[in-house]
Amino acid sequence: MTDVRAAEVEEAIKTCVSEFYGKARQDPLLGPIFNKTVVDWDVHLRVIANFWSKVLLQTDRYNGSPFVLHMNLPIELEHFERWLALFEETVKATLPVEYATKALAKARHMGESFKAGIFPFVDSHGKPARHPE
């Protein structure tokens, strides 16, 4: 990939992250969690852009485990569906097609992995649960 192309994708990633969180902060389901949890939005947006840069461009600006940061949040299964829907809408509108496809695959995988880790049990109704009954 040329430096020009990489720079264009980096800008698209920043736009994507900014637009996604702009929507998420206003969302009736997601907004209360994001707005209560994120203290410094400038830092958060930079960290998330670095994460997606690593995923999409193999840069080395992000190190860490996103799961650890999410496992104790007050999130439920419906939050994952809404997050993915908003993310998909934003990614398709902001990233070049080949990067949007890769980002969506990663997001879907992360969502399923996070759900499995946060809700490792099944309740008496067969629904995923945080704790055993």
Cβ partners under 8 Å of residue 63, min gap 6? none
CATH architecture under which domain 3-129 falls? Orthogonal Bundle (1.10)
Half-sphere exposure of 87 (CA within 13 A, CB side): 21
For the stretch 83-107, pLDDT in tens is 999 999 999 999 999 999 999 999 9
pLDDT of residue 42: 97
Domain boundaries, the chain: 3-129
User: Is the model's pTM score more than 0.85?
Assistant: yes
Of the pLDDT bands very low, low, confident and very high (cuts 50, 70, 90), residue 2 is low
